[in-house]
Structure 1
Amino acid sequence: MSNIWIAASDNKIDKVREYIESGSYTANSKDPNGYTPMHAAASYGNLDLLKYLVSQGGDINIQDSDGDTPLHHVETVEAAKFLIEELKADFKIKNKDGLTPAKYQEEEDEYPELIEYLSSLEKLGTLPAMKTGIGASQSNLELPNGERVKMYLSKDSDENLSDELIQRRKEIESIMNDDLTEEQKDEKLRSIILGVVSGNVHQLKESDGPESKRQR
């Protein structure tokens, strides 16, 4: 027996499209447990299908009966990055147990790289509130590895910094000095921080080896 949830899990885009175009289901149709095609596509890393579902009105932050969003059920960093960076999934939403995607994955304790990525992003909590100019930005914005923007903007001689830190400081200084709106500055700073997160995950991958795969 087939339905849209199975088709979404199996990455059968044509079949999913057929179900939606027939009017029998939508991208947000829930089974008895509140599970949707969005959850299925995210869980199995079917990213092209997920993008299609969003184009058909799929809610990237839709919650099932447990309060889990599609992001709670991703199993790879690639999928998490796609949901957050491309589809703008909210990584701060908590399920009925009070767990964000990061905390949920910590409890599952199966994917260290994914845990590192999601946990690092939670440290971006001050970024959306950064609306009071450069002073607040310097003091409030903490990078995922514990470093602060203020350090990058310090007057220390470049000879005391690594090439990477020098480059990152120049990027941040450029953003702060450009004639940009606070929203534009936020977005550019977010990109830098996401780069730091990706770097942390890459280092973890090299030290710990490949992720295990959750048994289905």
Structure 2
Amino acid sequence: MKKLLSILVFVYLFSMNAYAETYLTPWNFQITTSSKVIYAGHVNINEVKDKLIKQNIVKKNILNKFIKNLNDKKIIYIFSEEGGRNIINANTQNAPSMPSFKDSEVLKTCSDLKKSYIKMTKLKLVQTDCILEFFNNKVNSKKFSENLSKNIKSILFYGHEAQEYNRSQLQYFVNYDKSVTIFTLGCTIGDCEVMHDEMINVINSIKFN
């Protein structure tokens, strides 16, 4: 019986991870995605472009522009296997002057982000999230693993809604070395949970070379 149970546990764990894929991002770290999503980056765009068109995720008439953006190594995308408008992207920038992460400075950082987005979009935005999730090797929520890469210095979570368009934007600012990678989920309000969980799992999977 014990041997049978061990076999069943192995099969269960294998089935959970059988279709997980690991990719090297343009920014010198790896991420792992689940079978529920499609990763699109410079390393695999030729393998997935037909699938993206067939599932009507990327329009054929903008495919060349889409591929060029990926080949420039400035951005990556993660799409739901089911299609739809809930999409994750990530880009990396030189790290801005980071706050000391006192509560007041965290709130100011989020307030400044909101003002910048309002200025860019000309939309009325409602801020929904502003949390310092990880700092100084301390995880401040249950979202992230205690085994996060030691290269990561901090993770700031910011979110807002554009209610007139029924859209939500959730962002994680992952600060490491002299860079910050911004993971962004654009989703329909009330329908963000699945892809939000995927984004958290991707961040947990980060491994630097």
TM-score (norm: length of structure 1): 0.29
Q: More helix per residue: 1 or 2? A: 1
Q: More strand per residue: 1 or 2? A: 2
Question: Which structure has the higher relative contact order (CA within 8 Å, separation 6+)?
Answer: 2
